[in-house]
Structure 1
Amino acid sequence: MTAVESTTEARAAVSGAEIRLDGVTKTYRGQKTPAVDNISLTIPAGEIAMFVGPSGCGKTTTLKMINRLIEPTSGTISIGGEDIRAKKVDELRRTIGYVIQGGSLFPHMSVAKNIAIVPKLLGWNSDRIKARVDELLDLVGLDPSKYRGRYPRELSGGQQQRIGVARGLAADPPVILMDEPFGAVDPITRQRLQDELLSIQRELRKTIVCVTHDIDEAIKMGDRVLILQEGAHIAQYDTPEVVLSSPANEFAQDFVGAGSSLKRLSLARVSELDLRQPTTATVGENAAEVQQRAQANGDRSVIVLDRRNRPLGWPWVRQLKGATIVEPDEDLVNLDSRATLNDALDTMLVSGHGGAVVTGDRDSYLGIITFKTVTDFIEEMQREAEAETNGTATSLNGEHPSERISIAPTDEELESGNAP
């Protein structure tokens, strides 16, 4: 186990509850075939189950039956061993978080009031609600003092989705249902939100059921992946590793699509690799001392951290001017330790340093990942695959992965101006 794994993969106690569907069917009047036909499966407590499949396959209908937004025609759904029909509908829904595309915030309510809806319905006092709102804003990476009083129209799409997640967690429910939660944001924000949810899940260990159309998102996010065919017939329900390596039938194989070998990069996490530990500096620290420390370490750049060990920037040593270290004027893109190698490559390709800053719980700094580390790992994966198949593993373009990636400039090339 690497140092990163020991820091970031320590699992908290499970706070989720097992979900069991037994013979669940949904039939609408006037339709000959059921929308959901006799589906049975178990989602273990504390795991993320990704429901994926083509439009009309019944994945959202199945999701909504768990909190009785849609009532099953027949069959049984239990949460934590208790039949969901044993509770009144309103009582049930207050114990299940629900997050949908775009966050679905009430536009006339502030961020704090949006998050506080369910706790208020449960009769929490104002002090407890305020503390919970601030706790959740911090958890999803938003400064409570800046955001609690804002309104949805004052937030970006990604920020609105974060507030939606916070609202779903407000009453500390054991189960969270998510319906295409990241479908309305741009790809970069989507990756950040995915990583943030994985970080939150690492800390809270809820039982999360998430609907998506994106098989790559399902592979990245899920502890288990459910591939549904029309009528919510189960094509396959298994771990991402098994779904990619051993599709259960032709439909599952077609849905996973070509390039399953490349998709396996989504199974490898940044936490599996060793991170480099360059020179760091804290805001307010003496700049001259930081420069001396960096030069002694042979580093051309430093990672600037705040008082809570969160990375703020990655400036070159020559950019450290003035008596003290100040917060860099840049938009630093962090990479969560649970991010995939695909995400790492995407992030590093747009980085001016040929690497990426890696963070853990609550955005705490862990180190940096470099191109060489990733390409060495990919080459090792390729050697293992060749040993298994006794063939030659190639990319979709017939190129060796490292031959495509290693041409990226290093820190030294960028700094010296000799980058290709």
Structure 2
Amino acid sequence: MTQTDQAAERSISGAELRLENVVKRYPGQKSPAVESLSLTIPAGEIVAFVGPSGCGKTTSLKMINRLIEPTSGSILIDGEDIRKDSATSLRRKIGYVIQGGSLFPHMSVAANVAVVPKMLGWDKKRIATRTDELLDLVGLDPDRYRDRYPRELSGGQQQRVGVARGLAADPPVILMDEPFGAVDPITRQRLQDELISIQRELRKTIVCVTHDIDEAIKLGDRILILQEGANIAQYDTPDAILAAPANDFVADFVGAGSTLKQLSLARVRSLDLLHPTTAKVGEDTGPAVRRAEDAGDDAIVVLDDRDRPVAWPWLRQVRNNDKVKSSPRENLVTLDEAATLNDALDTMLTAAHSKVIVTGDRDRYLGVLDFETVTEHMRKTEREAAEHQLELQQEQDQQGAHADG
């Protein structure tokens, strides 16, 4: 059984989220910011809220944890109305991740992650264990990062800590408001991959507000496209929205090139990976180099004791040392198996190897993807789509001919 199959069998730790005729009116405004919003978000899924500026997506998100109080209607988590508890108590049960991580600058990384567990009265040992577990989960070595301060971190690292803090008390629902909007494109892609990997393991219910339809397509099990007043234009899977936009508004919002966007639905895990020579950190270089030479490889993928890739040196670099050496894991660019083929191409076009290392759960090494495999798959997909379109056209022509006859 593959890691993906095993992950699919894991129990869902998220909760069903239901909005029933939710309205938000502000004094002095003619129209409501949110007008009778009703939808159900299944437990364990990621739903992306997208729409034009001012459509009510962020207002809708903030009503779920009562940062904004609804004017009327009901919001239920696992069938229980969120107004059953105080707003403060509710927020301690819902993870909240915003742009930039929003870390407390005077607190260490560990203290930032521990904020909610400490409020909930967890003991110090439990908090310390949970903090280290979460830092590892988001790809930050606890020994290196737990005692650092936000000013010592990059933007991407701060956002990782923000995600860890949102997960700290193991909430069933996590809200994310433009979580990756303040980082560069490469870091953004890696953080998206990190979130997908975490979700594959934890199966939380995640609501993510984004202005980027491509990000929504990549992250969302479902996408909610909103018009002004948080009126639902379409609520469906990415495949269904791209294949059959509900109306002109959705078609315009998704934009031109929906065929190319459908290609971006294809994931790295659907392709065959290469398996070049690997070596463990600390291994003698002689046997590793001989294995690579026998296989015709010009580089070696270096793995740590947990089978996570940490370096990808050329053979000439390996030969300079007696032992296989490591490097900081975050310095190595990898792709999660759930990354899109567009991400794979973007990564490979700037990579020294013209290939990319693919990882699975907890960043474990799965193999290597090369440029030729991706481009051939995309060409095949385009050919199949064109053939399918031709068949549909021929059927329509035949039906039209019969009708005329």
Q: Could you say which TM-score interval applies, normalised by the shorter chain? A: over 0.9
| Map of 2:324 onto structure 1 | 325
What do the CA deviations read for 1:114-138 (whole angstroms, capped 9, x no partner)? Answer: 1111101111011111111111111
Whether the 8 Å CA contact 1:11–1:203 is kept in 2: the answer is no
Q: 5+ residue gaps in structure 1?
A: 392-420
Q: 1:289 to 1:175 in 2, by over 3 A?
A: same
1:74 maps to which of 69, 72, 75: 72
TM-score normalised by the chain length of structure 2: 0.94
Instruction: Name the aligned partner's letter for residue 327 of structure 1.
Output: S
| Map of 1:230 onto structure 2 | 228
Instruction: Name the aligned partner's letter for residue 268 of structure 1.
Output: A
TM-score normalised by the chain length of structure 1: 0.90
| Map of 2:383 onto structure 1 | 383
The answer to which of 313-322 and 340-349 deviates more is 313-322
> Equivalent residue of 2:20, what SS?
strand
Whether the 8 Å CA contact 1:227–1:235 is kept in 2: the answer is yes
| 1:5 to partner: Cα distance | 4.6
Q: 1:11 to 1:340 in 2, by over 3 A?
A: farther
Say how many residue pairs are matched.
389
Is 1:18 the counterpart of 2:16? The answer is yes
Is 1:29 the counterpart of 2:27? The answer is yes
Is 1:357 the counterpart of 2:347? The answer is no
| Map of 1:177 onto structure 2 | 175
| Map of 1:143 onto structure 2 | 141
1:252 maps to which of 250, 253, 273: 250
| Map of 1:309 onto structure 2 | 307
| 1:322 to partner: Cα distance | 2.4
1:187-202 matches, within 5 Å, as 187-202=185-200
RMSD: 1.5
> Equivalent residue of 1:98, what SS?
strand
Q: In 2, Cα distance between the equivalents of 1:11 and 1:332?
A: 30
| Map of 2:394 onto structure 1 | none
1:98-113 matches, within 5 Å, as 98-113=96-111
| 1:237 to partner: Cα distance | 0.4
Whether the 8 Å CA contact 2:263–2:381 is kept in 1: the answer is no
Whether the 8 Å CA contact 1:4–1:337 is kept in 2: the answer is no
> Equivalent residue of 1:274, what SS?
coil
> Equivalent residue of 2:229, what SS?
coil
Instruction: Name the aligned partner's letter for residue 365 of structure 2.
Output: Y
Q: 1:37 to 1:329 in 2, by over 3 A?
A: closer
| 1:329 to partner: Cα distance | 8.3
| 1:304 to partner: Cα distance | 0.9
| Map of 1:290 onto structure 2 | 288
| 1:212 to partner: Cα distance | 0.4
The answer to which of 335-344 and 301-310 deviates more is 301-310
Q: In 2, Cα distance between the equivalents of 1:291 and 1:111?
A: 40
| 1:383 to partner: Cα distance | 1.7
Whether the 8 Å CA contact 1:5–1:272 is kept in 2: the answer is no
| 1:10 to partner: Cα distance | 3.8
The answer to which of 325-334 and 120-129 deviates more is 325-334
Instruction: Name the aligned partner's letter for residue 281 of structure 2.
Output: V
Instruction: Name the aligned partner's letter for residue 326 of structure 1.
Output: K
Q: In 2, Cα distance between the equivalents of 1:104 and 1:11?
A: 34
| Map of 2:278 onto structure 1 | 280
After the TM superposition, which parts of structure 1 deviate over 6 Å for at least 4 consecutive aligned residues? Answer: none
| 1:6 to partner: Cα distance | 4.4
| Map of 1:396 onto structure 2 | none
Q: In 1, Cα distance between the equivalents of 2:376 and 2:144?
A: 42
Whether the 8 Å CA contact 1:4–1:274 is kept in 2: the answer is no
Q: In 1, Cα distance between the equivalents of 2:384 and 2:221?
A: 23
Instruction: Name the aligned partner's letter for residue 325 of structure 2.
Output: V
| 1:266 to partner: Cα distance | 2.1
Whether the 8 Å CA contact 2:283–2:323 is kept in 1: the answer is yes
